[in-house]
Structure 1
Amino acid sequence: MLLPDFQLMLAQPIFLCTLILYAIGWFITFIGACILGNMSLLWVVVFYNLFVLLGVTLAVSTDAVHTYRLAIVAYIAGSLPLTFFMISVTIGSSVAPSNAAASGMIFQSLPLIFWIIYFGSEEDSLVKRSIGSFTVLRTPGAVTSNGVAHGVSSSSPEQQYQQQQELSSVVVAPAADYAYKARALYSYEANPEDSNELGFVKGEILDIVDNKGKWWQARKQDGTVGIAPSNYLQLI
């Protein structure tokens, strides 16, 4: 079972900002609904949007967006008309809690619009590339000026030694059974000092032998075999 890794959200500042805005808007709407108390449709929207919030957070924090992308887009698409309808019903009322609920849903509608464009776009689309340019890459790998990961991270001598030990423990077997496929989330430039490493570009599809460990044995479409950092890849 995949456990949430909230560093995945911290590495995507634009998504994190929209998530915070959505959570604030949901909380304001929830308070307004609690005070009003008698609007059943408003409560339907509140709980539906909570489900969307939890689902999107879980998908991103477990790196499962690609797997559940269509489901995420479908639920967000269902949330938008409900949210806009409740905004039209509650806004402009003489009752302050009703206006508060409308304000909260306006806050939620902005991230919803962003998410449906973001999650609904293909990996090689201009939207994904533009938003992906703000992504903070994680180790192993240092980022060059053009946003390409290069080699093994050099944060400390101890970490360097540990990473080199991990690399040396991976044995490349060209005749292995490649049971999985993965998509490259970021470009990676192989360390020229390690002949086992495999370089690839963002969006490239690789064949994978095993999906355990920090380094996976991978094969490119041209038949090149090597090892690749697992946190630059997403199983498909």
Structure 2
Amino acid sequence: MARTISQTISWYIIGFELFLVSFSCAVLWTNTSRTYYPVVLTFTSISISYSINEIAINVATRAPTLIAVASGYFILIVTQAIWIFQFGVQRQEYDHDMDEYSHVYINNSYRKEPSSITFGNSMPSYPLPMHVQERVAPMPVYQTNESQNTVYLSPHADYTIPVKAIHSYEANKSDPNELSFQKGEVMYVHEMKGSWWQAKKSNGDIGMIPSNYVSLTVV
């Protein structure tokens, strides 16, 4: 009887199931399901088909021991069905997150909303200057945008960051807050945020300068 049972049981399937359970637990333990989910789903699908076949064979023998083995296979099938839902849903959520990220990234990449720096309510807004091309002096472009970001700076700020002008810049005569400077002139910046920086010249003049006209330097 024991020999008949041993011949009926497919030991290679038991070894395969043991490998699959160990591998799936390792994937969950190391939190690498997003990497190995195709392997787990493939092996699990194969395992379920094997288990269904083993249940049919063992039940047909009508031996109590083999019927108990069939019950174990049935429990294993239920567990593996849960795994399929678990790994499949994780993949769908990952794809959805990637789609949302790509949609937001593309929208932000093509959205043109210049930021501004404002001193109180009476000071003008400074939009983004145009990008600098190599060896070509950029031209700031002034626009009006009601949705611009606003940054408030204190007039008593410290100017500790040295920068050197890589292009000459002539301040807008209608805007008393801009600062004119010559190429090669060294100035000190309060804070390197945004596209317009509050700077101080060596003669004590303070004003706004376009960030793409200067570069960091060492004094």
TM-score, normalised by the number of residues in structure 2:
0.40
Q: Does 1 or 2 have the higher relative contact order (CA < 8 Å, sep 6+)?
A: 1
Q: Which has the larger radius of gyration?
A: 2
